[in-house]
């Protein structure tokens, strides 16, 4: 029985068993800074009390009138976040926060991603978001900047995803999105409250041919969250998540000349190699919370993730000494848990709060590679077991020096072990083990200027180990000095930041941050050979300014702006000193997002936004540059209440002015194959229908 049928049965059964009434309204009102509460700091607190850059994206900005193809649709409004690759589902979305994560040519590195308290980042530091069901997301919290004192390795920033609750009044909702390039998305969602049980179940199915050749995707996602409130001041949240994507083709990167000739074309080698991937994943996790006494909270979590993966890569047989082992398969079991205790106490006669916790994450990959014989799997060429173990202990204390001044100090110790057991020894036994350990401190202070405006400063650190793919050793067979299993060290970063956020006047919210950061031994892409990336360490320096503003100049009218200026450069590239002073590739110096949204009391809304992305260097030498782009989008809809029914049609136009731009730049791509063109003007429309039983 397929995942799609199982998930559909669960969703329909749940909808039939409940006694639904009215769905929660999607509309959101602007909240004061002292009312917004966040949990990305691992402790629920008001936003004004956080001495760090943190942004919150609400449900309306995530879901309303969207195609819901990628998280970047919502995250573009967060300054300091740079996203690429929305339209290549085989490579997954690429996210960078203050430059962390930019080195990845596929997937997400350098960041920690959580959903409902369960990590989407594996023990070796790689994240994926192909299982995220955006149609059930209520909130996204983005902690910008180094945060290893809270989250350990691979935490140059944190994206915390929160699934919506079922609401007090149960409902069922169905929806469809139809767009150009063969997009068809179907969704059904139900949620509500039944006694002490709150539930939300969501099922979606996507087919999309894509703008380019060989870009088709087929994916079914199921996401659910159940929370049971016990009578003894405790609650248990259980999440069940699954994705079945039997097809995600990879059009590949092409040269600038190919882009000019025909941006819709796929890389010929990708066509001949049948490039693409297939994924099945299931996730089960639970989080138990219980109040102890008057001022203490115990949190325990446990999770299990099973992932089956197959990919055909466009490996070229013309490369000397490298077999055409362009078929990758692995079976992954990723599991772990943690315990955390928050309790109030006093220090020096002043009130405070202490958080202490333990995280344990374990990853086991059974990985094979096979020859890619013109898109057909050939003989076995690689076979190994990979295991990663990550154990972290952390301590955080928040102390109120006065009613207006709070200081926060944190400390975390992490041990990470990466182990490879080589089962294919025809080319020599390449088994190995690497151990890393690090102590990560942080210190911050926040001062309330008024009850609606706060300033803060912090010193933070990050610690990041290489992932297994960055330790991969095909380069040993090239007889060149690109490294082997131990080709890179772990990287560390230290950052100083000052910021301001709040509402200086009514109906205006501002968030501003200035940071300076030094990164030692940054894991840096240096070459792509046979579609595989190789890495070395280099010291880098990062400085930046981030600004965001939300204003409501009139009833129903909202204006949003987000701007980031960054100066990221190589400070000391020991293996290639000629690169010292060069800009880090894959990142724009400036990025600006602007949006105007109007909501009428009748239920009609219209939203227009524009994203400007500055030039991007495509290589470490800064010899190839991707042009700046300005892409505008427009969407409109109408929510009509008719008794128990709520009908909400919407339409959208992406890239309104038909801008020519690249949706992704592959850093240091081989043979000048660096660019993945984005779609031309694109039309889509959809409809959601809610029904309430009361």
The residues spanned by each domain of the chain are 3-691
Q: Is the pLDDT of residue 386 over 90?
A: yes
Q: pLDDT-derived band of residue 17, with 50, 70 and 90 as boundaries?
A: very low
To which residue do tokens 């109906």 refer? 507
Q: For the chain, what is the mean pLDDT?
A: 89
What residue spans of 71-110 are helical by DSSP H? 72-75
Q: 137: closest CA among 41, 239, 45, 228?
A: 239
Distance CA 422, CA 382 (A): 8
CATH classification for the domain delimited by 3-691, as one of 2.40.170.20, 1.10.10.60, 2.60.120.480, 3.40.50.460: 2.40.170.20
Q: Is the pLDDT reported for residue 480 higher than 50?
A: no
Local structure of 40: helix, strand or coil:
coil
Q: Could you read off the pLDDT of 647-674 as tens digits, one per residue? A: 999 999 999 999 999 999 999 888 899 9
| Confidence category of residue 347, pLDDT binned at 50, 70, 90 | confident
Report strand pairing: 327-347 vs 296-312: antiparallel
144 — pLDDT class (breaks 50, 70, 90): very high
How high is the pLDDT of residue 324?
A: 61
How far apart (Å, rounded) are the C-alpha atoms in residues 436 and 150? 18
Helices (H), 142-275: 148-151, 256-261, 268-272
Which H or E run includes 406?
strand 405-422
At 85-142, the pLDDT tens digits run 999 999 889 999 999 998 887 789 999 999 999 999 999 999 989 999 999 999 999 9
CA distance 54 to 150: 14
No. of helices (H) and no. of strands (E), the chain: 6, 38
Going by pLDDT thresholds of 50, 70 and 90, the confidence category of residue 32 is low
pLDDT in tens, 246-258: 999 999 999 999 9
Residue 306, number of CB atoms within 10 A of its CB: 15
Q: Sheet containing 118-119: which strands, arranged edge to edge?
A: 53-58, 137-144, 157-163, 112-115, 118-119
Asked whether residue 178 carries a pLDDT value surpassing 90, the answer given is: yes
* Cα–Cα distance for residue pair 462/156, rounded to 1 Å: 6
| Tens of pLDDT, residues 602-637 | 999 999 999 999 999 999 999 999 999 999 999 999
**Residue 465 DSSP symbol:** P
* Residue (of 558, 533, 537) closest to 548 by Cα position: 558
Over range 227-231, report the average pLDDT. 95
What is the structure's pLDDT at 9? 39
Residue-level pLDDT at 105: 75
Is residue 204 within 8 A of residue 215, CB to CB? The reply is no
């Amino acid at each position: 029985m397929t995942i799609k049928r199982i998930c559909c049965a669960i969703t329909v059964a749940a909808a039939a068993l409940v006694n639904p009434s009215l769905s929660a309204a999607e509309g959101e009102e602007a909240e004061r800074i002292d009312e917004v509460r966040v949990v990305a700091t691992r402790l629920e607190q008001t936003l004004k009390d956080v001495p760090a850059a943190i942004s919150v994206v609400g449900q309306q900005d995530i879901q309303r009138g969207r195609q819901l193809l990628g998280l970047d649709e919502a995250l573009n409004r967060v300054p300091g976040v740079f996203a690429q690759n929305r339209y290549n589902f085989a490579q997954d979305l690429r996210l960078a926060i203050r430059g962390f994560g930019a080195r990845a040519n596929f997937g997400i590195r350098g960041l920690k991603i959580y959903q409902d308290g369960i990590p989407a980042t594996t023990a070796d530091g790689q994240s994926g978001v192909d299982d995220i069901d955006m149609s059930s997301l209520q909130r996204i919290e983005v902690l910008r900047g180094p945060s290893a004192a809270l989250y350990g390795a691979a935490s140059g920033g944190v994206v915390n995803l929160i699934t919506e609750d079922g609401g007090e009044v149960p409902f069922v909702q169905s929806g469809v999105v139809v767009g150009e390039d063969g997009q068809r998305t179907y969704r059904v969602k139900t949620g509500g409250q039944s006694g002490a049980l709150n539930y939300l179940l969501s099922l979606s199915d996507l087919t999309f041919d894509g703008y380019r050749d060989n870009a088709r995707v087929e994916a079914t996602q199921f996401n659910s969250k159940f929370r049971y409130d016990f009578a003894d001041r405790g609650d248990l949240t259980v999440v069940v998540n699954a994705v079945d994507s039997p097809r995600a083709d990879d059009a590949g990167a092409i040269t600038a000349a190919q882009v000019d000739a025909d941006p819709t074309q796929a890389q010929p080698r990708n066509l001949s190699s049948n490039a693409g991937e297939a994924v099945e994943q299931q996730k089960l996790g639970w989080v138990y919370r219980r109040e102890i006494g008057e001022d203490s909270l115990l949190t325990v979590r446990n999770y299990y993730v099973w992932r089956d993966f197959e990919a055909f890569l466009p490996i070229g047989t013309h490369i000397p000494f490298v077999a055409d082992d362009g078929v990758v398969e692995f079976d992954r079991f990723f599991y772990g848990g943690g315990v955390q205790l928050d309790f109030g106490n006093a220090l020096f006669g002043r009130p405070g709060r202490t958080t202490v916790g333990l995280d344990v994450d374990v990853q086991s990959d059974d990985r094979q590679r096979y020859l890619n014989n013109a898109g057909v799997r050939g003989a076995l060429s690689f076979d190994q077991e990979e295991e990663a173990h990550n154990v972290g202990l952390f301590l955080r204390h928040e102390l109120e020096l006065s009613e207006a001044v709070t200081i926060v100090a944190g400390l975390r110790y992490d041990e990470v072990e990466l182990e490879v057991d080589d089962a294919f020894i025809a080319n020599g036994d390449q088994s190995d083990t690497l151990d890393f350990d690090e102590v990560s401190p942080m210190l911050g202070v926040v001062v309330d200027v008024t009850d609606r405006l706060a300033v803060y400063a912090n010193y933070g650190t990050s610690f990041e180990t290489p992932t297994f793919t960055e330790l991969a050793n095909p380069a040993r067979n090239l007889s060149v000095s690109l490294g082997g299993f131990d080709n890179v060290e772990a990287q560390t970063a230290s950052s100083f930041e000052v910021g301001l956020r709040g509402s200086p006047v009514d109906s205006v919210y501002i968030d501003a941050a200035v940071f300076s950061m030094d990164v030692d031994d940054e894991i840096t892409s240096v070459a792509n050979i046979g579609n595989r990336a190789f890495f070395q360490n280099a010291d880098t320096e990062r400085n930046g300014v981030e600004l965001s503003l939300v204003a409501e100049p009139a009833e129903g009218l909202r204006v949003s702006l987000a701007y980031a200026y960054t100066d990221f450069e190589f400070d000391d590239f020991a293996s290639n000193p000629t690169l010292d002073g060069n800009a880090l590739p894959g990142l724009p110096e400036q990025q600006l997002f602007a949006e105007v949204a109007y909501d009428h009391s009748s239920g009609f809304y219209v939203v227009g936004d524009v994203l400007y992305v500055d030039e991007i260097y495509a290589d470490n030498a800064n010899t190839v540059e991707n042009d700046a782009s300005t892409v505008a989008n427009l969407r409109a809809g109408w929510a009509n209440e008719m008794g128990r029914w709520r009908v909400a049609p919407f339409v959208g136009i992406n890239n309104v002015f038909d801008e020519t731009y690249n949706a992704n730049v592959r850093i240091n791509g081989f043979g000048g194959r660096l660019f993945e063109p984005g779609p031309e003007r694109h039309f889509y429309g959809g409809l959601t229908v809610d029904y309430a039983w009361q």
